[in-house]
Chains A and B, each alone.
Chain A
Amino acid sequence: MSRKEKKVKALSQGRIRWAKALRSPKTRIGLVISILFILIAVLAPLISPNDPLLVSVIDKLEAPGGQFPLGTDQLGRCILSRLIWGSRYSLSYSFIVLGITLLIGVPIGLVSGYVGGRADTILMRIIDIFMAMPSFVVALAIAGTLGASGRNLVLAMSLVYWAEYARLTRALTLQVKGQNYMMALKAGGCSHGRILLRHVLKNIAPSIIALATMEIGSIILAIAGFSFIGLGVQAPTPEWGIMLSDSREYFQTFPRLMIIPGIVIVIVVLAFNLVGEGLQDGLSTDR
């Protein structure tokens, strides 16, 4: 089989896998809900019925209905509007964390696995150091020294999570590197950069994308959790973790303040996990 034919076949197999992954009901349901939430986040200023930050003491702790479809919180702020704006913060911070970790982790893993030798040893040592730091401890250290804020939380989470992707990318790169066609590419005079980007990265991308999608859910949970204990986004920002944290003082008398944001978090995380699982089932090569 000539090289050209082989390449065509590999491409079509990749397409088949993507098609299979996107057709599964899991992926579809997950995608619909995820995209819905992304739209809500983007259109927040247009669709939220009230100002999420407007404090109005006379309207405080009102039951759902009328001007406030989901009622108001302890400061008279509209809960629905806060949830809608909250999706902005939760989703954008998660995507930023994911983007940064991929941008740092994947290139380092690629180089480490492809170059090998001493560079690999040194990079792996560095990766080990970062893997040894529990994310909570780093978030604590950064919040304690630089102050607690959404931006610093993103910094702390990125600092820890990239190592995982670097390790995965390196392992996948080593797998691809060991295959015969790599030698053929080199013998054929293909440059290293071209091999890395066009052949290695393209081959390992599906596995990385599947893992990354699976991770969005847990990043959303982590951001809400850190904000909940005060290490992340700060009040009065309408963030879901903050809303839950605010609800604690009223949870004996007004449990709805804590139930509603919780349900929203669960739905979003479930949706992203569904997409992740669907992609994983479809894209994972049955090696």
Chain B
Amino acid sequence: MAKYILKRLLAMIPVLLAVTFLMFFLSSMSAGDPARVMAEKIYGHPTPDEVELVRHREGLDKPFPIQYLNWLKNVVHGDFGESYSTGRPAAEELFRHFPETLKLALTSLVLLFLVAVPLGIWSAVKEGTAADKVIQFFCFLSVSMPGFWIGLMLLYLFGVKLRLISVLGGVSYSGIPLVAAFTFDIGYFGILIRLIRTNLGSVLKKDYIRALRAKGISPGRIIMKHGMKNSFMPVLTRSIGMIINMLCGSAVIESIFSINGIGKIALEAVVSKDTPVLQCFILVLSAVVVVVNLLVDILYSVVDRRIQL
């Protein structure tokens, strides 16, 4: 086990190197001149000589691979450079806004499970009934809706018409971003309900479930203890993907509901060409994705003893 984890951690390195290299390669191809941007910050209206001075001092006159290695060296030491727009360390910029994104992601996750798990179970148990059909229709709608549009509509309904939430901030007066979280979950409700229905449904048709029923074990116990346990893995895998998306792709929701999270910072960095912040965001999130995927694999072997790492 320890050996496996070590191996996987080592395998992470080429992935992260590839992502950062690609990103660096793209930056080097883009128009803008970072030396000029920096020189303008220092000198106001820099002469060409001053720009060249900055270029030399920052190592921007070196060949591209050397620049990449220099950047990497700094990153290993925890230095992502300073934000062009605020002058503060890029990593600090990002982590300062992380709690807002985390709050949104956690709220979305809890809400998602509170809605999808019961509906999924209900739909699996009552397969083919009217209730199941209604739930299936809801699932179909859920995967076809543009989340951001529903977000705007909800903001209009709750913010403008009913005045239950603030139009700026999207937070209900209780402080929990419930409407934003719901908007986030729209596309995922359908996916998760269907997944639970398919997996639980196929488990419930197995012979041993019938045997349990014949033995007189209560339906609730059969579903929760035997059915859910055996349809847990695919649901877990998919949920992890959703959590990753919630952490990385929150920019749309944050922008609609004016939440100051990392997604919004990243968007602003794109607009203002704030490369250090952008690079930090991309590297940190890629690392999160890789680590989370590793955790899933480890969790698999803990939950299911048959999987050997």
Contact = CB atoms under 8 A, between A and B. Distances in A.
Interface in B273-296: 273, 275, 278, 281-282, 285-286, 289-290, 293
Given A141-B282, A230-B267, A132 B146 contact: no
A132 B255 contact: no
A260 B22 CA distance: 40
A142 B26 contact: yes
B308 interface: no
Contact of B15 (A128, A229, A252, A265): A128
Residues of B in contact with A, size category? 35 or more
A143 interface: yes
A269 B275 contact: no
A169 B297 CA distance: 23
A280 to B, nearest CB: 12
Interface residues of A, number: 43
A133 B146 contact: no
A269 B152 contact: no
A129 B19 CA distance: 8
B146 A269 contact: yes
B147 interface: yes
Contacts of A229: 251-252, 255, 267
B152 A262 contact: yes
Contact of B144 (A145, A146, A270): A270
Contact of B146 (A135, A224, A248, A252): A224
B53 interface: no
A106 B237 CA distance: 24
Interface string A205-247: 0000000000001100100110011110000000000001001
A141 B144 contact: no
Interface string B11-46: 000110011001100110111000000000000000
B286 A133 contact: yes
Contacts of B267: 140, 229-231
Interface stretch (B70-78, B114-122, B209-217, B242-250): B242-250
Interface string A244-275: 10011001100100110110011001100100
A41 interface: no
Contacts, number: 126
B249 A136 contact: yes
In the complex, which of the residues B30, B31, B140, B152 has the most CB atoms of chain A within 10 Å of its own CB atom? B152
Nearest to B157: A255
A231 B270 contact: yes
B149 A134 contact: no
Interface of chain A, main secondary structure? helix
Contacts of A247: 152
Interface string A68-95: 0000000000000000000000000000
A189 interface: no
Interface of chain B, main secondary structure? helix
Nearest to A244: B149
A137 interface: yes
B125 interface: no
Given A133-B19, A137-B286, A248-B152, A144 B252 contact: no
A147 interface: yes
Given A136-B249, A141-B282, A262 B290 contact: no
Contacts of A142: 26
Given A132-B289, A252-B167, A148 B270 contact: yes
A135 B14 CA distance: 19
A262 B146 contact: yes
A5 B154 CA distance: 60
A140 B152 contact: no
Interface string B238-262: 0000001100110110010000000
A142 B23 CA distance: 8
B217 to A, nearest CB: 31
Nearest to B241: A134
Interface string B135-152: 000001101111111001
A146 B140 CA distance: 36
A152 B208 CA distance: 54
Contact of B14 (A129, A140, A266): A129
Given A134-B289, A269-B146, A277-B140, A228 B26 contact: no
Nearest to B264: A229
B250 to A, nearest CB: 9
Given A136-B249, A140-B281, A273-B140, A225 B146 contact: yes
A134 B248 contact: yes
A272 to B, nearest CB: 9
B134 interface: no
A144 B153 CA distance: 29
12 contacts: A133-B289, A134-B245, A136-B249, A140-B281, A144-B275, A146-B29, A217-B144, A224-B148, A248-B152, A258-B156, A266-B146, A273-B140
CB-CB nearest 7 A-B residue pairs: A262-B149, A136-B249, A145-B26, A134-B248, A145-B30, A144-B270, A270-B144
Given A221-B146, A258-B156, A266-B144, 12 more contacts: A135-B249, A137-B282, A144-B269, A144-B273, A146-B30, A225-B252, A228-B148, A255-B160, A262-B152, A266-B146, A270-B144, A273-B144
